[in-house]
Amino acid sequence: MQLWQYYRILRKYQLLILIGTVICVGTVGLFAYLSPSRWEASTTILDKSMKGKDISLFAQQYMQSALDPRFRMSSIGTLITSRTVLERSAETLWRLNITADPVEILRTLDVTPVEDSGLIRIRVESDSPKTAKATTDVVTAEFIRFYNELNSSNAYSTRDFIKKNLPRAKDQLSKTQEALRKFEESDNAIMLPSQTQLHLQEMSQYQTALSGQDVAAKQAAARVQGLEKQLKDTPGIRVASTVIASNPVWQSLQSELMQREIDMQTMLKDRTPEHPDVKALAKRIDETQKRMQQVGSSILNSTTKAADPTHDAMFQQYVGSMIDNASANAAKSAIQAQVANLGNELNTLPKKEMKLAQLTLDAESAKNTYVLLAQKMDEATLKVQESKNDSDIQVVDQSVVLPVSNRGVLKILLALILSPILCGGIAFLLEYLDNTIKTPKDAEKLLGIPVFGAIPFAKSHMLSDSKVPASLGISYDMLSTNLDLDKPALHGNSILVASSEPNVGRSVTAANLAIKMASDGMSVILVDSDLRMPVQHALFGVENDKGLTNVLAGQLPLKDAFIKTSNPDLRLLTSGPLPGNPIRLLRSESMAKLVNEIGDLADIVIFDSPSGIVFADSVLLASLIKNVLVVYAAGSVPRGTEAEFASQLQRVDANVLGSVLNGVEPKISHGSYHFRNAYKDFMPNGKSKAALTASSAGQIQADAKGKDNGTDGSRGNLS
C-alpha cells in the first residue's frame, strides 16, 4: 500500500478518528477527575541477620550459609504477604473498628526489598489516610510477631506445656507428702533400716531421671503436633531466582588452552618452531581454539527450585523434635527397666516397711518432678523473653502517610498520543474489512471490462445545472473521449446505458453523457426506454404525455415524438405513457424497426433502461442495440448480480463496450483530485467553470460549421 493510500484512508475516516480521540481523552480525563484521593503509608524494616556471615531465616542454624541473600529477602517478602499474617492483620484491624479483608489488604500491599541492604519497604494504599497508616502498622507488627513465633516455637511450646503440667505436679506433691505424714503419725510407724534408705535414694534418683525424660518426650510430642499443623499451611517448594553461570565446557577448554600455551613457551626454550613436537603442540592449540569458538562463552540461564525457608525451618524443627521425642522415650524405657528391678527388691521387705518405703519414694519423686518443672518453667520463660527482646527484624522508619498522585496529566497526555493511533488502527481495520467497490481498478477486477469513466460524487449531478462542479464535466469528457476512441468496435451508432442493480445513477449517467456529447458538437438523441420507472422527463423538466410507447403503438410518427432541449443538438424521446406489458412492446417489430431507423437521425443515440437483474427489458434491448455501456455505483458491496447480468448479455451476443463507475469519492478519483489541485485557477474570473465549458463548446461548434460552409462539421465523429 502506497503512502497516498494511507493518507486517503486517514482522510476518509478523519471524523471517526477525531471523535474517537475526543471520547478517549474525555473519558480518561473524567476518570482522573472523579477518581477518589488515594493515600499511601510506608514503613521500613531491617533484617539484622543480613549483617552476619550465616544467612538464617530463623533462630535455627541449619546449613543456610550458601543461600542467596536475594532469595532470603524474597522469602521474607513472601512471609509478609502470607495468609497467616494477613488474617491476623484483618482481625486486629477489625478490633480497631477498621473493616479490612485479607484479599483487599494483599491487593493494596506492596513489599519491596532493597537489594544488598537488608531493608524492606512495606507500602499500603487506601482511600483514607487513617486506614492506610493503621494497615501498615498492623501488618508490620503482625509480621514481626509471626516471625518471632517461628523463631521461638520451641520456647513457646515448652513454656505452654510446662505451664499446663506444673499445677498437676504441685498437687501430686501435696498428696504424696500428706499420705507420708499420715502414715508416719500412725501408731504403727516404724523406722526404715539404713540399707533400705540407701536403696530408696537410688530409686528416687531413677524416678527423677524418669520424670525428666517423660517431660522431655511430652515436650517434643507437643512441638511435633504444632509443627505438623504449620507445615500443612506452608508451601514446601518454590522457584528460586534464575541461576546464571558461565558455560562449563568453554571454561574447561580455556583451562586446557592456557596449559598448552604454557607448555609451548617451555618447549620453545630448547627447541625450534620447526621441531615436530612443537608443531604437534601448535596443532593441538589451534584445535582447542576452534572448539572454543564453536562452543562459545555463552551464559547458561537455568531456573532452579529450592525449599522455601519458612517451610525448611519448620521441617528442621519438626525433625529435631521427633528425634528428641524418640531419644526421650528410649531413655525413659531404659530407666523404667532399672526402676522395675529396684522395685522387685523392695517387694522382699516386710509389709509395713514396704508401705513406708513406697510412700517415701512417691513423695521424693513428686518433689523432684515439681522442682524440675519449676526450673524448666523459669528457663522457658527466659527463652521466650529473649526471643521477644532479641528479634532479627527491627522497624527502622515509622509509618509515614503521603498523598498518591493519580497522574491525571500523564494519563491525558498518553491518551492524546495513543488514542489517535488506536482510532487510526480501527480505521485501517474498517478499510481492510470494507469489500465495497471504490476505485476503477476494483470495478475492472469485478466486471472484467475496462472502465471508461470514473464519475465523482457531487451534490449537483446534472451538467445542465449551473452549480455543477467543473470536475464532473471533466469526467464526462473522459467518458465521451473513450467512447469516441472505441468507435471501431461499435455496431452502429446506438448505445444502451444499462446496469445490473437499480439506484446506481444509470439514468443520470445517460442524460449527462447525452448533454456532454451534444455540447461537443454531435447530434444526439436520448431515448428513455425505461418503461418501468422513467425519469428522463423529470431530469430535463418536460412533460411525458407522449413518447416511445406512442411511437411503438403506431399512434405517433417518430419525428413528431422528439422533444427539443436547451441544446439544439440534443433531442429527447421520453418513455410516454407507461404500458401494462412493457415486454410486449419492446419485443415487437415496431421496436426493432425504431432501433434501425433512429440511428439515421443523429450522430449518436443513447438508450436508457431499467435494472437488468430485476427486469428482462435491458437484455431484450441489448439484443437489439448490441452496444452496451454498464454503470456501476462506487461504494456498493458486490452481490454477484454483476456476473449474472454479464452472463445474460453474453447470451444475447451483446457488445459490452466498457463500464462507468458512478459516485466515486473526489479524493479517490485521480482526475478529479489533480484537476482540483492543479487546474482550479485556469479559468478567467467572473465565469463559472460550467458556463465557461458550455460557452467554449458553443463557440467551437459555430467555428466548425462556418469553416464547412454551412455543413455539420461535427457529424461523423461517432457515425
More confident residue, 623 or 4: 623
Q: Do residues 306 and 240 lie in contact, with contact meaning Cβ atoms separated by under 8 Å?
A: yes
Res 473: pLDDT: 83
Q: According to the model, what pLDDT value does residue 266 have?
A: 74
Per-residue model confidence (pLDDT) at position 719: 27
Across 111-120, 504-513, 624-633, least confident range: 111-120
Give the containing element (helix H, strand E) for 121. Answer: strand 119-126
Range in 61-65, 174-178, 327-331, 503-507 the model is least confident about? 61-65
- pLDDT of 242 reads 40
pLDDT at 224 over 90: no
Q: d(Cα 621, Cα 387) in Å, to the nearest integer?
A: 108
CB distance 688 to 483 below 8 Å: no
Q: Coil, helix or strand for 668? A: coil
Please state the separation of Cα 511 from the chain's center in Å.
Answer: 55
Cα maximum dimension of the chain? 178
- Chain-centroid distance of CA 514 in Å reads 58
pLDDT tens digit sequence for 14-66 = 888 899 999 998 998 888 888 778 888 999 988 776 554 343 444 343 334 33
Is the confidence at residue 533, as pLDDT, over 90? yes
pLDDT at position 230 is 67
Residues 398-405: what's their mean pLDDT? 85
Residue 141's alpha-carbon distances to 123, 369, 691, in angstroms, are: 14, 38, 92
Tell me, what DSSP letter sits at residue 50?
G
Tens of pLDDT, residues 261-303 = 777 777 777 777 777 677 778 888 888 888 777 766 544 444 4
How confident is residue 432, by pLDDT bands cut at 50, 70 and 90?
confident
Asked if the model's pLDDT at residue 333 lies above 60, the reply is: yes
Burial of 189 per CB tally in 10 Å (0-12, 13-18, 19+)? exposed
Arithmetic mean of pLDDT, 117-138: 87
pLDDT digits (tens, 9 = 90+) for 506-524: 999 999 999 999 998 899 9
- Radius of gyration in angstroms for the set of CA atoms belonging to the chain, rounded to a whole number: 54
Using alpha carbons, list the distances in angstroms from residue 76 to 69, 71, 388, 519, 712.
Answer: 11, 9, 18, 93, 105
Res 551: pLDDT: 93
Predicted confidence at residue 525, as pLDDT, reads: 95
Locate 294 and state its grid cell.
564453536
- 422 or 354, higher pLDDT: 422
CB atoms within 10 A of CB 248: 10
For residue 166, pLDDT beyond 90 = no
pLDDT average, residue stretch 575-598 = 92
**What integer pLDDT is reported at residue 300 of this predicted model?**
44
In 553-688, alpha helices (H): 558-561, 582-586, 589-598, 617-625, 641-651, 670-678
Ranked by mean pLDDT, the top range of 43-47, 170-174, 651-655 is 651-655
- Residues 625, 628, 629, 631: is their CA dihedral positive or negative? positive
pLDDT of residue 55: 38
Q: How confident is the model at residue 196 (pLDDT cuts 50, 70, 90)?
A: low
Contact 579, 585 (CB under 8 A): yes
Per-residue confidence band for 336, with pLDDT thresholds at 50, 70 and 90? confident
Asked if 431 and 9 touch (Cβ cutoff 8 Å), the reply is yes
pLDDT of residue 234: 62
Contact 611, 501 (CB under 8 A): yes
pLDDT tens digits for range 550-580: 999 999 999 999 999 989 999 999 999 999 8
Which residues lie closer than 8 Å to 504 by C-beta, 6 or more apart? Answer: 631, 632, 633, 636, 662, 663
Strand 570-573 versus strand 563-564 pairing type: antiparallel
Q: What percent of the chain has pLDDT over 90?
A: 19
Query: Which residue would you say has higher pLDDT here, 683 or 92?
Result: 92
Quick one: what percent of the chain has pLDDT higher than 70? 73
Degrees, nearest 5: CA angle 709-714-719 = 130
CB-based burial, 325-354: b 16+ in 10 Å, e otherwise: beebeebbeebeeebeeeeeebeebeeebe
Location of C-alpha cell 509480621? 143
Q: What is the tens place of the pLDDT at every residue in 474-504?
A: 888 888 998 888 888 888 899 999 998 888 8
Read off the amino acid at residue 650: Q
When pLDDT is cut at 50, 70 and 90, the band that residue 403 belongs to is confident
- Report the pLDDT value the prediction gives residue 198, as an integer from 0 to 100: 65
Q: Distance (Å, rounded) from C-alpha 70 to C-alpha 10?
A: 52
Q: Tell me the pLDDT band of 430, cut-offs 50, 70 and 90.
A: confident
Q: Record the cell numbers describing residue 656, joined without a space.
A: 459490452
β-strand partners of 570: 524
Question: Taking 80 as the threshold, does the pLDDT of residue 161 lie above it?
Answer: no
Range 195-202 average pLDDT: 64
Q: Taking the complete model, does pTM exceed 0.85, yes or no?
A: no
CA distance 18 to 26: 12
